[in-house]
Structure 1
């Protein structure tokens, strides 16, 4: 009895080549947030809760630009792509929300440590949990929100939450890879920190669309593969 070959997700199949072609933009998305973090941390102190907020808000445009370049290599977006202002709003919302929650958690933890307040300990834990949840939502929401102009931000957030809850492995893998590289950068070789955002962007796109399509969200038209185009020209 012949076994059927496994079905490979078309986005995951094309993702390595697309990431290579979008590597200049991905490199910029790794350098800029790191520079912003160093600068803001130097001005305000690395332990300041405001660092999270400023880094998120200032880095969001670069991150969404790199994600747009990557998805442009994967899909033929055409009129489906939101305009620049809409993409910036999506980026600021879904990047800013986890950063704001992380800042609140950091602040509550600092107050709990200095004052011994049980209330602020609970708030710090709750802020950490909400930060993780918002990051998992953002991993799915950013690729969808920067590629689809026909849905509202509220719908994107709800659909991303439900899709991630139904198939959480993709978003969790994206976050886990970024966290692992960040941990290695902080404990072993600092230069690895420049790869945190690019890896998060690539794995977010790779995890978001299989998760979203399984939930019923339609996949944008795939761009013709470079190999198929080359073969077609040679046959012509």
Structure 2
């Protein structure tokens, strides 16, 4: 079984995000970029399935700018077998929208004959949490979101997923889409020998046109701004005074 793992190049989670002075977007000049943490967990899980003998090949895919090659090399160094880069933008500030990403990934999954797609539940740059679900709808495959544990049992995937009340265990028929939560695993560090080996692993470069997909943006970002500063709290002497203050501010 082939396992497809989409990965995204994002601002490193340790970096404080800065907005451009003119409000046209996020400042990416001299900013450290890395693999989306949820995708890193997905790569690790796919590699573990291969090590357990439940997958034959792990294919990493990224859709974006040419610089995403670095992200794919990281996935290859972790243990992915090969990678596909779909160059869908020239400007690093261009974020490919989830529907376009899902359409491309669906085509890649069909072309590669993937039996399972393991992807991060969301990217930390836009937090949309939509690509995996859209891909499942386009392919007509089963989906299991917010995975806390994942196991492949014959033609099925058994997933414990995080819900409001705790954990819900479901069994879905393969092929399927599984989106990962933070507690699924602890991603491994790529060793220096594996980083060197990753440079020799195959990395194919494609375009959206190769899959018959138009990745042109359909949304326009009007303005980007910093979150508002938090207001100072107020001390109250009683519950009645608290309720009165909340009513005054229109909270209740």
TM-score, normalised on structure 2? 0.25
Higher Cα Rg, which structure: 2
Q: Which has the higher strand share?
A: 2
Higher helix share: 1
